[in-house]
Amino acid sequence: MYTKILVPVDLAHTDKMVKALNTSIDIAKHYNATLCYVTVTNSTPGAAAHNPKELREKLAVFAEEQGKSHGISTDSIVMETADTAVELEDKLLEAIKTTGADLVVMASHPPGIGDRLHILHSNGANIVRHSDISVFVVR
């Protein structure tokens, strides 16, 4: 049913993404699908790496380790942007098309007052609205 599962990852916060990571691994095993870890990054230094090249290397290592430890096929892609806050969703939608993903499994924050006041929004909800593939959002 699924062959390529896209998993947005923030390497600086993988400890907060355990449920989404484990869910994506379980689905990949069930369908014998490839997990493609994606990170969207600014051109400037961030918490996970000093530059996009270093982040690309770290994400590739992360993907390889996940693949070996769970017996699954993995891949990785880093999408670079001048402004992650503004372009995150567009870059994730681009990654879906670039990779040929047929499922996205992503972590999301629990809805709160900021969501109801439209101060904050769920990236997962926006990806669902603008994508023609299945999206599995995990809290």
DSSP per residue, the chain: --SEEEEE--GGGGGG-HHHHHHHHHHHHHHTPEEEEEEEEESS--SS-SSHHHHHHHHHHHHHHHHHHHT-EEEEEEEEES-HHHHHHHHHHHHHHHHT-SEEEEE-PPP-HHHHTTSS--HHHHHHHH-SSEEEEE-
Q: Distance between alpha carbon 126 and the CA centroid of its chain, in Å? A: 14
Integer Cα distance of 54 and 39 in angstroms? 12
pLDDT at 39: 94
The residues near 90 (Cβ < 8 Å, ≥ 6 apart) are none
pLDDT(130) > 80 = no
Res 127: pLDDT: 56
Structure confidence at residue 132 (pLDDT): 63
Check residues 44 and 137 and name the one with the higher pLDDT: 44
Q: Pick 109 or 30 by higher pLDDT.
A: 30
Q: Which domains does the chain have, with CATH numbers?
A: 4-137 (3.40.50.620)
Model pLDDT, residue 51: 87
- Output the pLDDT for position 60: 97
